[in-house]
């Protein structure tokens, strides 16, 4: 747009204060934050005032797929960019240091150097997020191995006193190193570990810990986790079958267990240690419903958000799940995810359970709705008993991890399930409730 000479038009961008520009730069990956210096001379070195160094290069990996030569060139460029920024950065402190790219243990020397840089800058958040464009995630020996020594001292220990949050994806971490984090990082509040190939057993118990949020995701060698006697607020586990023990966690408000968990005592007895504090609960139940041990389910008076993932190959009644709903008298959001491979339709008759009013339930979702008798009777139960219901979401799409049907057959099943949902549920939907069928 042309501007006449002598007009009052101003260049507001270059008139922004340095503080505002730095706030904007904080929202950008470092690659783009640095090049803004070419836009305005005034901004040339402003990126050095950033306290959050976000080296997110995942956008450069979108179209690489299995082009090994291109991937290696991208890796070299990424390493050069990180080294260049670290070498020019002169601020004494770093709040966040994030590495997000496809790197593995072949790059151990440079990654070790980046971590030493971050520790020297009194880092508060470390994120090592190594994606896997080569699709080798099941081969964890390719993972970057976290160093046995990481400290401003010369001692052979991992010691980051300033650390508050730790996020690791595709990083091999031993129990000994995890123990050192817990011991030598007194301000550490959040730990998230995804895809570590070395962790087998975790035991965190009976110490003055500051850990509030703990997540273990898809660690293939994991066999047991024991957490007790500290002020944990949220715990997330996703992965293979493990032995899980939670005890004396009075502040635990969020428990997500999206993995098959083996217990000497069942999951309902496990919940007794945190029954009064839980507000968000999610777990998988793959056993047939007739084997559910509902007699040991404690009352969960403060649970407001409940997600159940259920093995539902057969057309067995799901109404026994209502005992879990009733144990959550404050429930506001309920999601039931049905896992099936080749769903079986056997029953035409729909069962009904006695009325039990769920006064606080506002959102109900069924994922994997197929239109069987078991699906319909569960939806009908909620429609009839949730007096404050505002929205129902029905997702007929396949929810299993490993599809066992062709794409064509898959599409046919989804369309069949969608048609059944419309035919069955639209006439039953209560007035004033927003019914969404995806």
- DSSP secondary structure letters along 173-206: --HHHHHHHHHH-TT--EEEEES-SS--EEEEES
* Average model confidence (pLDDT) across the chain: 83
Rounded mean pLDDT, 140-155: 84
Size of the chain, expressed as the number of residues it contains:
438
Provide the percentage of residues in the chain whose pLDDT is more than 70: 75
Q: Two tokens at 289?
A: 């419903």
CA atoms within 13 A on the CB side of 171: 27
- Rounded to an integer, what distance in angstroms lies between the CA atom of residue 211 and that of residue 176? 17
Residue 336's pLDDT is what?
Answer: 93
Please choose, from the candidates 263, 302, 303, the residue with its C-alpha nearest in 3D space to the C-alpha of residue 285. Answer: 263
109 burial level (CB within 10 Å; 0-12, 13-18, 19+): exposed
Contacts of 407 (CB under 8 A, 6+ apart): none
Radius of gyration for the chain, computed over Cα atoms and rounded to the nearest angstrom: 26
Q: What is the tens place of the pLDDT at every residue in 316-339?
A: 778 888 888 989 999 999 999 988
- Rounded to an integer, what distance in angstroms lies between the CA atom of residue 395 and that of residue 403? 16
Residue 328's pLDDT is what?
Answer: 93
CA atoms within 13 A on the CB side of 273: 19
Tell me if 167 sits within 8 A of 142, measured CB to CB.
Answer: no
DSSP state of 297: P
Strands 234-247, 280-285: pairing kind: unpaired
Residue 3's pLDDT is what?
Answer: 46
Q: What is the tens place of the pLDDT at every residue in 172-217?
A: 999 999 999 998 999 999 999 999 989 999 999 877 789 999 999 9
Q: Minimum mean pLDDT among 44-53, 124-133, 289-298: which range?
A: 289-298
384 burial level (CB within 10 Å; 0-12, 13-18, 19+): middle
Check pLDDT > 70 for residue 31: no
- Rounded to an integer, what distance in angstroms lies between the CA atom of residue 139 and that of residue 222? 15
Give ∠ CA 214-215-219 in degrees, rounded to 5. 135
């Amino acid at each position: 747009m042309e501007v006449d000479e002598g007009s009052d038009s101003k260049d507001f961008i270059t008139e922004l204060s340095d503080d505002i520009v730095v706030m904007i730069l904080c929202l950008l990956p470092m690659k783009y934050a640095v090049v803004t210096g070419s836009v305005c001379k005034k901004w040339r070195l402003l990126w050095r005032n950033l306290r959050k160094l976000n080296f997110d290069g995942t956008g450069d990996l979108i179209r690489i797929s299995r082009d090994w030569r291109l991937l290696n060139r991208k890796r070299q460029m990424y390493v050069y960019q990180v080294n260049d920024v670290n070498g020019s950065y002169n601020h004494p402190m770093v709040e966040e240091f994030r590495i997000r790219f496809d790197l593995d243990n072949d790059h151990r020397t440079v990654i070790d150097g980046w971590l030493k840089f971050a520790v020297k800058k009194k880092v508060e958040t470390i994120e090592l997020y190594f994606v896997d464009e080569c699709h080798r995630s099941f081969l964890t020996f390719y993972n970057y191995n976290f160093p046995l020594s990481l400290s401003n001292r010369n001692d052979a220990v991992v010691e980051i006193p300033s650390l508050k949050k730790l996020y690791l994806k595709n990083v091999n971490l031993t129990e000994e190193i995890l123990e050192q984090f817990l011991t030598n990082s007194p301000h550490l509040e959040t730990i998230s570990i995804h895809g570590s190939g070395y962790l087998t057993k975790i035991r965190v118990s009976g110490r003055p810990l500051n850990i509030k949020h703990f997540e273990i995701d898809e660690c293939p060698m994991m066999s047991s986790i024991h957490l007790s006697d500290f002020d944990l607020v949220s715990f997330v586990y996703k992965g293979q079958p493990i032995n899980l023990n939670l005890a004396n966690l009075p502040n635990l408000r969020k428990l997500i267990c999206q993995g098959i968990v083996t217990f000497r005592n069942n999951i309902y007895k496990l919940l007794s240690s945190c029954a009064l504090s839980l507000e968000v609960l999610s777990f998988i139940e793959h056993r047939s419903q007739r084997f559910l041990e509902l007699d040991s389910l404690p009352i969960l008076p403060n649970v407001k958000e409940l997600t159940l993932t259920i093995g539902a190959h057969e057309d067995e009644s799901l109404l026994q799940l209502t005992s879990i709903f009733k144990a959550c008298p404050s429930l506001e959001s309920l999601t039931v995810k049905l896992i099936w491979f080749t769903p079986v339709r056997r029953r035409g008759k729909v069962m009904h359970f006695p009325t039990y009013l769920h006064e606080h339930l506002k959102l109900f979702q069924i994922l994997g709705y197929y239109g069987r008798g078991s699906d319909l009777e569960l939806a009908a139960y909620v429609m009839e008993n949730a007096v404050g219901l505002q929205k129902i979401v029905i997702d007929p799409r396949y929810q299993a991890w490993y599809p066992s049907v062709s794409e064509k057959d898959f599409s046919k099943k989804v369309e069949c399930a969608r048609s059944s949902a419309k035919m069955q549920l639209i006439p039953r939907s209560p007035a004033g409730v927003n019914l969404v069928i995806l």
